[in-house]
Structure formats: C-alpha cells, structure tokens
C-alpha cells in the first residue's frame, strides 16, 4: 500500500522491569510466546477416517505429529505443544456430564494421548467452546459446564486449552471467559489458556478490554481465522499493524496477542511469503503454532520454521511486541522490535509484485541513535557492522522480507529498559509501552 509516512520522534523515556511484568495470567506459563502445532488450519473438521485415515482428526494424527516434533528437531527448538482443535469429541457428554472424545477416533482416550506427549517432553492442548456448541457443532461449554470441563481437562493432564466462542452472546462470553480462567486455576494444574473472546468482539476497545484479558488469558485470538493464502496472511498483518498502538501494549510475558497459526509448509504460500510470515510473526511476539503436515513438509519450509535466530527473536524474554515503523510509497515497509541485551530486530518487507526492490536507507533514518551496530541477516547469515549514518541498500524480493538481528558491537553493562540506558533503536516509550506515532 503505497502510502508514505514521515516519522516524528518521540521523547525517550526510561522503563522499569515492573511495568512489563505487572500483568499476565498468574499461572506462571508462557513467559515467552508458546510454540507448537495446532490441527485446525490444515486438517479442519476432517472426521472421514474411513476414506482419509492419515488426515482425519484422530489420535493417530496427533501421535504422528508428536513423533515428528520429537524426532525431527522441532522439540529442541521450542515447538512442544501438540494441540487438538474442534471435532475431537463425541456428540454426547458421558453419563456424568463430562466431555468425552469420539470413541472411534480417539480409542485410547485423551489422558493416554497426553501421557504420550509427556513421555516425549511434549505437551497436549485441547479445544472447547464457550457456548451451546462448538463452531463445528460438537458439544459446547455453557456457563454451567465450565467447572466440570476445566476439571476434566486437568484430570486428563492436558497442558493447554483453547476456548472458542461460537454460539454464545457477548454477555455469556463476558461471564464465561473469566470463569474458565478461575476454573482452570482452581484445578491446580497449570493449563495455558487461549481465549478467542476478543475475536468475537471485533478485537478493539472499548468492546475488548485488553487489561482484563492479560489478567485472565495467556493468549488470545484478536482477529479472524487464518486461511492457506497470502491474501489471508496480508489481511492479518494489515489489521495487527494498523492497530498496533492498541495491541502492542497488551502483550508481554504470559499474555500474548495471537494472529493465528503459521501456514508455512502448506499449499498457498511461496517461499518468500513463508519467510515473511515467519519474520512478521516474530516481530509481533506471536505464538508460533504450525498447522501443516510435518510428515511431508518440504525442506525449504522446514528450514524457515526451524530458523534459530528468528525463533530466538520471537522468544525474546522481554516479550515486547514490535511495530511497523515505516510505510514507504514504493511498497516497502519497515518493522522493528526491541530485544533484550540492547538488541533489536528489523524487518524490511516488500508489498510489490514486480521484482526485487533495492531499498536505500540508514539506521539513523530508522531512528537508531548514534553509534555502530552489528547486524546479522537471519536468513542468509550475512553479518556486518554499520554506523548509524551509513547509507545501505537492502534488496527485498516481491512479497518477501529481509530480516536483521541488530546489536551494538560492545556489550552494554546494563539493559537500557531496566537501568535507564539510552535505547538503541527507534524512540520507544517503555514506561507507557507506547511507540512514536508515525504520521502521514
């Protein structure tokens, strides 16, 4: 979108650790964005195990994915959650009113599946819906069922719970999502809690209260479901960065905005687009849930998803969600995220659909303060040192990114956010967790 924004500088303000750790669901979980695998985007509500046995929603699918996570190097990188989505349950609750898995597709039961994960250092996630039915028409969790369902999941030794919001109204949701948070905590089992609530309320204040969400949920879906297409990825990117001033302040250790699954390794994204989704999800401090077929994934897609430097950027312990800091008329956008150890991440993204664009800039134009910076291109491994004033050119491919990890060459004794050192990177007000406004 060829809009040209000029940047105005904001005053640098110092930060304290306290402002970044005040909020967050008090279950001690997900101090960095959760990582793993989630069935929905790739497998949907495929329950046709007769004709499509390898892809239907069944314990075999989750066991297959667990095996791949365990054996193919995913687990060590942090991809530990194996998450069931909709269509796992029987159409009827059991005689005691508890949810039960479909007996044909999950003959071993959920607890055995959870133990299969735990035996391999993995975790199991499960899905429910605040409402009369799940989106796929399976039994929902009405207000009166919240306690029993939370207890059921805890009894099964489940590690994460996604609470969808089909077939309920705003009043029921306002009651149900906090109640479920309390009920999960009351079980005594640490269960990561993913809330779809804001996505059902438009994702923005005043309807959505992000302070409250940070207190009751570990992550939340703000926006619509991702699809296996670049248009879908772009619409999500657009929404999240257009609303970054509202959203970024909501995120932090234990509480994350969730722009939805990674569709890297599926059918709709080119390699460039796959690199872009990975880079922008890292800038957003987004949960990294792949939804793909790890049994047949291409080596190209796997190497993007297993890029250690990008994962470490995504998992930075400060947990500060990054921002778009520049939109150039020519279709280049620049994104920035402050990281621990006085470092930062930069993404140069091209919305062009013609040819690689040679974008000329300097770190000082990107609001970096005077000094020398070491950078590493996270996809090529190329490393160099740049003065803030040095003009450089990055060649950005159509729908692709160039992503840098930027650090000052000398280690600083104190982290600027913590000790009040001068921030290296675009002017950022960590006290308020706000960012310099970018004006038209």
- Catalytic positions: 164, 225
Q: Is 232 in the site for its own copies (CB under 8 A)?
A: yes
Size of the site for its own copies (CB under 8 A): 33
Q: Is 32 in the site for its own copies (CB under 8 A)?
A: no
**Minimum CB separation from its own copies for residue 275, in Å?**
10
Q: Which residues pair with 257 in a beta bridge?
A: 220
Contacting residues for 207 by C-beta, under 8 A, at least 6 apart: 170, 201
Q: Which is nearer to its own copies, 53 or 121 (CB)?
A: 53
Q: Is 58 in the site for its own copies (CB under 8 A)?
A: no
**Minimum CB separation from its own copies for residue 227, in Å?**
4
Cα separation, 401 vs 393, whole angstroms: 13
Residue at token pair 């207890």:
151
Neighbours of 98 (CB within 10 A): 14
Contacting residues for 105 by C-beta, under 8 A, at least 6 apart: 47, 49, 56, 57, 58, 59, 88
**Minimum CB separation from its own copies for residue 273, in Å?**
8
Among 44, 98, 133, 365, binds its own copies (CB under 8 A): 44
Q: Which residues pair with 406 in a beta bridge?
A: 344, 375
Q: Is 299 in the site for its own copies (CB under 8 A)?
A: no
Contact (Cβ atoms closer than 8 angstroms) between residue 193 and residue 25? yes
Q: Which stretch binds its own copies (CB under 8 A): 47-55, 80-88, 236-244, 377-385?
A: 47-55
The DSSP call for residue 255 is B
Q: Is 42 in the site for its own copies (CB under 8 A)?
A: yes
Contact (Cβ atoms closer than 8 angstroms) between residue 165 and residue 130? yes
**Minimum CB separation from its own copies for residue 234, in Å?**
10
Closest by CA to 43, choosing from 52, 31, 30, is 52
Q: Would you state the torsion angle of the CA atoms of residues 324, 223, 203, 19, taken in this order, to the nearest 10 degrees?
A: -50
**Minimum CB separation from its own copies for residue 398, in Å?**
4
Q: Which is nearer to its own copies, 29 or 45 (CB)?
A: 45
CA dist 14 to 42, 43, 224, 427, Å?
Answer: 44, 46, 35, 11
Pattern 362-401, binding to its own copies, x per CB under 8 A?
Answer: -------------------------------x---xxxx-
Binding site for its own copies (CB under 8 A): 41-44, 46, 51-52, 55, 227-232, 266-273, 298, 353-356, 358, 393, 397-400
């Amino acid at each position: 979108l060829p809009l040209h924004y000029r940047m105005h500088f904001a005053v640098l303000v110092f930060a304290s650790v306290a402002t970044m750790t005040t909020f967050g669901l008090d279950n001690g979980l997900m101090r960095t964005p959760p990582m793993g695998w989630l069935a929905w985007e790739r497998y949907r509500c495929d329950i046709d195990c007769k004709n499509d046995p390898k892809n239907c929603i069944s314990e075999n699918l989750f066991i297959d994915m667990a095996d791949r996570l365990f054996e193919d190097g995913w687990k060590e990188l942090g991809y530990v959650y194996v998450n069931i989505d909709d269509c796992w349950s029987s159409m009827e609750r059991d005689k005691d009113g508890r949810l039960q898995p479909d007996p044909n597709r999950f003959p071993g039961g959920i607890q055995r599946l959870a133990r299969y994960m735990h035996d391999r250092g993995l975790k199991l996630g499960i899905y429910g819906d605040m409402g009369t039915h799940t989106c796929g028409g399976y039994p929902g969790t009405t207000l009166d069922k919240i306690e029993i369902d939370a207890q059921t999941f805890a009894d099964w030794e489940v590690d994460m719970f996604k609470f969808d919001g089909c077939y309920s109204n705003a009043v029921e949701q306002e009651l149900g999502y906090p109640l479920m948070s309390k009920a999960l905590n009351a079980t005594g089992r640490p269960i990561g809690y993913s809330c779809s609530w804001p996505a059902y309320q438009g994702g923005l204040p005043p309807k959505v209260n992000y302070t409250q969400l940070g207190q009751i949920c570990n992550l939340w879906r703000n926006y619509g479901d991702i699809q296996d297409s670049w248009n879908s990825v772009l619409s999500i990117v657009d929404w999240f960065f257009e609303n970054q001033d509202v959203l970024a302040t909501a995120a932090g250790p234990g509480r994350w905005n969730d722009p939805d699954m990674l569709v890297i390794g599926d059918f709709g994204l080119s390699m460039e687009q796959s690199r872009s989704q990975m880079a922008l999800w890292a800038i957003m401090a987004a949960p990294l849930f792949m939804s793909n077929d790890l049994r047949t994934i291409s080596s190209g897609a796997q190497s993007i998803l297993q890029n250690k430097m990008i994962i470490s950027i995504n998992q930075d312990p400060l947990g500060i969600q990054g921002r778009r800091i520049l939109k150039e008329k020519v279709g280049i956008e620049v994104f920035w995220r402050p990281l621990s150890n006085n470092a930062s991440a930069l993404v140069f993204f091209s919305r062009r659909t013609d040819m690689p664009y040679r974008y000329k800039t300097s770190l000082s134009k990107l609001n970096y303060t005077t000094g020398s910076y070491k950078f590493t291109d996270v996809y090529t491994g190329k490393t160099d040192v740049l003065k803030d004033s040095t003009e450089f050119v990055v060649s950005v491919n159509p729908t692709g990114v160039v992503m840098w990890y930027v650090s000052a060459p000398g280690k600083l004794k104190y982290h600027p956010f913590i000790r009040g050192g001068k921030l290296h990177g675009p002017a950022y007000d960590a006290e308020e967790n706000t960012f310099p406004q970018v004006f038209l």
